[in-house]
């Protein structure tokens, strides 16, 4: 029986959808690495009774450890430490040593901001240094300390790890949390799970459902695998988790998927198309250039996101206007007039132009109708043309009608462009 965990993300701004929660997913990854099973993530507002309800729910589900994020700031709506103290039957007290440490952190900030009220700072510091008795203190990172709070002596229940809301601060405190006595005792029982991930492109979910049904007949122990499938950004992901003795069933499943879906399976080791393209470019000595219209910079943004991208990302040109396509990329104005700005010939000319103008070894281009306006019967919203080209003249092209709203069309177009570039760099054809 593996240790089980729950996560509570607090914050009215998260509950209200104004801020995207990045901590739940990040903590979920960390727990998986540790072999701790995550049962639930709960999101609630900055209200005492709602946070208490979440803690009670998770405790009732029998988890060994509860991770909270948020509610450690200096304002009155930051009440996590206080709620957790009460939940664990512990008193709050002002930790004078912690108050001094926070004051020392705040001091340089006082110089950076003008006209701050020192009394306001003192009150904030004191609030953040008031913690549950017996808590193990983490950090602080930023000005808020993290806390590991076990149930009061003589009581049973989950240990609560209280972490700050800002993701950078939470990341910095996490290793300290793992090292505390409270966390280690609560999570002593860990199973080791294997995690596998298959990624496919150009295949509907029903085909995988059928493959899994066939697998049930053919593969011994398939039910020992926890399999989840998911459509995401135009790709199909199949995630598989199992305990080591079920390795044979996993290998059977992998074989079956390879047998039935070889052309669609682009990743059997969990790597994303972004990572594969980065590796292909790094290894080739080629720098890549981008020419995009409807994706408006998002394709370049995705290619340049990884650390170290400057080694293989030459740059890009974003051209909406026809004139800019001519001027910045050397696209023939006649070509645009004849075929339209959204057309396969213009996509090809954009890739060739980016390759030449940025002195790159590879180029990829996108031109399309992202919507909501601009569609015609012949070229509806979602119609997008792609081209990829290498310095040696080899090239691939695709055109597609991509379903969805403007943001979806833009996002999925970046995925299609990355796959086209991947196939060209691997010397494959464009067709799936």
Nearer to a second copy by Cβ, of 187 and 295: the residue is 295
CB contact at 8 A, 294 and 413:
yes
Site string for a second copy, 145-184 (x = CB under 8 A): ---------------------x-x----------------
Contact between 252 and a second copy (CB under 8 A)? no
Nearer to a second copy by Cβ, of 107 and 210: the residue is 210
Nearer to a second copy by Cβ, of 96 and 307: the residue is 307
DSSP letter for 246, please: G
DSSP letter for 150, please: P
Site string for a second copy, 364-403 (x = CB under 8 A): -------xxxx----------------------------x
Contact between 111 and a second copy (CB under 8 A)? no
Contact between 410 and a second copy (CB under 8 A)? yes
Could you give the CA distance from residue 163 to residue 81 in angstroms, rounded to a whole number? 10
**Contacting a second copy within 17-76 (CB under 8 A):** 17-21, 24-26, 28-29, 32, 38-46, 50, 53-54, 57, 61, 73-76
Beta bridge partners of 383: 401
Could you give the CA distance from residue 175 to residue 182 in angstroms, rounded to a whole number? 13
Which listed residue (35, 330, 345, 404) binds a second copy by CB under 8 A? Answer: 404
Which listed residue (33, 91, 104, 116) binds a second copy by CB under 8 A? Answer: 116
**Contacting a second copy within 79-98 (CB under 8 A):** none
Which listed residue (105, 279, 328, 395) binds a second copy by CB under 8 A? Answer: 328
Contact between 319 and a second copy (CB under 8 A)? yes
H/E stretch holding 145 reads strand 144-149
Q: How far is the CB of 120 from a second copy (least distance, A)?
A: 3
Backbone angles phi, psi at 363, to 5 degrees: -145, 150
Residue 193 to residues 3, 11, 242, 418, Cα–Cα distance (Å): 12, 32, 6, 31
**Contacting a second copy within 265-304 (CB under 8 A):** 287, 290, 295-304
**Strands across the sheet containing 226-232:** 226-232, 235-242, 194-201, 265-267
Contact between 251 and a second copy (CB under 8 A)? no
Could you give the CA distance from residue 148 to residue 160 in angstroms, rounded to a whole number? 6
Contact between 130 and a second copy (CB under 8 A)? no
CB contact at 8 A, 118 and 106:
no
Q: How far is the CB of 172 from a second copy (least distance, A)?
A: 10
Nearer to a second copy by Cβ, of 182 and 234: the residue is 234
Q: Which stretch binds a second copy (CB under 8 A): 184-192, 227-235, 247-255, 274-282?
A: 227-235
Q: Where do runs of H (alpha helix) occur along 36-180?
A: 48-60, 80-87, 96-112, 118-128, 167-179
CB contact at 8 A, 65 and 187:
yes
Nearer to a second copy by Cβ, of 125 and 187: the residue is 125
Which listed residue (203, 246, 331, 425) binds a second copy by CB under 8 A? Answer: 203
Q: How far is the CB of 111 from a second copy (least distance, A)?
A: 12
Contact between 314 and a second copy (CB under 8 A)? yes
Q: How far is the CB of 216 from a second copy (least distance, A)?
A: 9
Instruction: Tell me the three state secondary structure of residue 174.
Output: helix
Contact between 224 and a second copy (CB under 8 A)? no
Contact between 310 and a second copy (CB under 8 A)? yes
Size of the site for a second copy (CB under 8 A): 110
Q: How far is the CB of 352 from a second copy (least distance, A)?
A: 16
CB contact at 8 A, 157 and 59:
yes
Which listed residue (147, 150, 186, 208) binds a second copy by CB under 8 A? Answer: 208
Q: How far is the CB of 406 from a second copy (least distance, A)?
A: 6
Reference 161, options 50, 75, 72; nearest CA is: 72
Q: What is the DSSP string of 178-239?
A: HHSHHHHHHT---PPPEEEEEEEES--HHHHHHHHHHHHHHSTTGGGSEEEEEEETTEEEEE
Neighbour-count burial for 356-372, b at 16+ CB within 10 Å, e otherwise: ebbebbbbbbbbbbbbe
Which listed residue (108, 153, 204, 427) binds a second copy by CB under 8 A? Answer: 204
Residue owning tokens 């019967």: 377
Which listed residue (307, 334, 378, 427) binds a second copy by CB under 8 A? Answer: 307
Could you give the CA distance from residue 165 to residue 45 in angstroms, rounded to a whole number? 13
């Amino acid at each position: 029986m593996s240790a089980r965990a729950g996560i509570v993300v607090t914050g009215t701004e998260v509950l209200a959808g104004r801020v995207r929660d990045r901590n739940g997913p990040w903590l979920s990854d960390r727990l998986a690495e540790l072999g701790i099973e995550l049962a639930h993530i709960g999101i609630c507002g900055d209200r005492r009774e709602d946070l208490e309800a979440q803690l009670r729910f998770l405790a009732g589900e029998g988890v060994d450890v509860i991770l909270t994020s948020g509610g450690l700031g200096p304002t009155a709506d930051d009440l996590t430490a206080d709620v957790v103290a009460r939940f664990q039957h512990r008193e709050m007290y002002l930790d004078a040593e912690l108050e001094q440490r926070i004051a020392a952190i705040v001091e340089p900030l006082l110089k950076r901001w003008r006209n701050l009220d020192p009394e306001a700072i003192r009150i904030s510091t004191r609030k953040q240094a008031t913690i549950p008795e017996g808590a193990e203190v983490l950090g602080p990172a930023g000005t808020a300390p993290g806390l590991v709070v076990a149930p009061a002596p003589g009581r049973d229940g989950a240990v609560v790890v209280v972490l700050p809301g800002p993701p950078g601060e939470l990341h910095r405190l996490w290793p300290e949390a793992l090292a505390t006595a409270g966390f280690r005792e609560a999570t002593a029982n860990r199973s080791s799970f294997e995690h596998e991930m298959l990624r496919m492109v150009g295949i509907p979910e029903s085909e995988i459902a059928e493959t899994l049904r066939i697998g049930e007949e053919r593969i011994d122990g398939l039910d020992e695998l926890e399999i989840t499938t998911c459509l995401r950004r135009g790709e199909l992901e199949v995630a598989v988790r199992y305990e080591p003795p079920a390795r044979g069933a996993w290998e059977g499943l992998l074989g079956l998927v390879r047998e039935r879906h070889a052309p669609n399976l682009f990743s059997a080791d969990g790597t994303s198309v972004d990572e594969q393209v980065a590796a292909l470019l790094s290894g080739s000595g080629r720098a890549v250039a981008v020419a995009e219209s409807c994706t408006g910079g998002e394709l370049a943004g995705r290619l340049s996101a990884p650390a170290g991208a400057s080694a293989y990302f030459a740059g890009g040109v974003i051209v909406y206007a026809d004139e800019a396509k001519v001027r910045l990329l050397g696209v023939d104005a006649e070509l645009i007039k004849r075929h339209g700005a959204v057309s396969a010939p213009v996509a090809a000319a954009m890739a060739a132009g980016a390759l030449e103008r940025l002195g790159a070894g590879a180029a990829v281009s996108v031109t399309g109708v992202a919507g909501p306006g601009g569609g015609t019967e012949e070229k509806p919203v979602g119609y997008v043309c792609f081209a990829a080209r290498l310095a040696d003249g080899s090239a691939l092209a695709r055109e597609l009608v991509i379903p969805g709203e403007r943001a979806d069309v833009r996002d999925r177009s970046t995925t299609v462009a990355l796959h086209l570039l991947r196939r060209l760099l691997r010397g494959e054809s464009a067709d799936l």
